[in-house]
């Protein structure tokens, strides 16, 4: 989850750069202040980030439990078939039918788990999007208030004076603006079929 906000940090830099001209126009003459935001801390320490992390952990635990359940069930069926093959207790046609049935179940399980994993990734992206959408205007407001013309992500700087780091203020305002996120992404609309010519 920590690296989940690196993309947001890069986007925040782009957002800060695109609004630098506005901030400079609003800043006192000669102001070239810089502020620093630790986006990893925003994601980890904000109420919205904690809310998202908890919900995503629950989803991950559910995915792992389902994977274990499917694996145990399929392993049991496979062991039964191996014993039947070794003991020659099943007609060849029946054995082949059971093997084919087991392969179908394995493919279905792989597909199910793959779909659930993709859903979890979509949900992670949705959590990041909600936090980023809320934190962007907050960073811009702090930037204007401080008369800053540049926002730097904390992990992009080698050393930072504590007076430049506005992460705590950003988190405080984000907590007020977005105390909770929804960790279930909206359903993806199916792709439209190409029009016939």
Question: Domain boundaries in the chain?
Answer: 2-177
- The confidence score (pLDDT) of residue 92 equals 86
Q: Pick the residue with more confidence: 145 or 17? A: 145
- Does the pLDDT of residue 64 top 90, yes or no? yes
Confidence of residue 193 (pLDDT cuts 50, 70, 90): low
The per-residue pLDDT for range 75-92, each reduced to its tens digit, is: 999 998 888 888 888 888
Looking at every residue in the chain, the average pLDDT score rounds to 85
For the segment 88-117, the average pLDDT, to the nearest whole number, is: 92
Q: Is 9 exposed, middle or buried (0-12, 13-18, 19+ CB in 10 A)?
A: buried
For the segment 96-102, the average pLDDT, to the nearest whole number, is: 92
- Does the pLDDT of residue 173 top 90, yes or no? yes
Residue with tokens 């962007």: 136
Tell me the whole-structure pTM to 2 decimals: 0.74
């Amino acid at each position: 989850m920590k690296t989940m906000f690196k993309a947001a940090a890069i986007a925040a830099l782009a957002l800060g750069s695109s609004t630098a001209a506005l901030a400079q126009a609003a800043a006192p003459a000669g102001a070239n202040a810089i502020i620093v935001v630790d986006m990893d801390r925003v994601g980890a320490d904000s109420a919205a980030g904690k809310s998202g992390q908890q919900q995503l952990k629950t989803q991950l635990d559910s995915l792992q439990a389902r994977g274990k359940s499917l694996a145990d069930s399929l392993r049991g069926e496979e062991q039964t078939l191996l014993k039947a093959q070794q003991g020659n207790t099943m007609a060849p046609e029946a054995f082949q039918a059971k093997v084919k049935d087991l392969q179908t179940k394995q493919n279905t399980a792989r597909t199910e788990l793959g779909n659930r994993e993709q859903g979890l990734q979509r949900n992670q992206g949705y959590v990041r999007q909600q936090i980023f959408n809320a934190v962007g205007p907050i960073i811009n407001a702090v930037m204007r208030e401080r008369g800053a013309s540049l926002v730097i992500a904390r992990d992009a700087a080698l050393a930072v004076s504590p007076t430049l780091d506005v992460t705590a203020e950003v988190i405080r305002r984000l907590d007020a603006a977005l105390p909770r996120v929804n960790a279930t992404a909206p359903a993806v609309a199916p792709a439209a079929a190409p029009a016939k010519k």
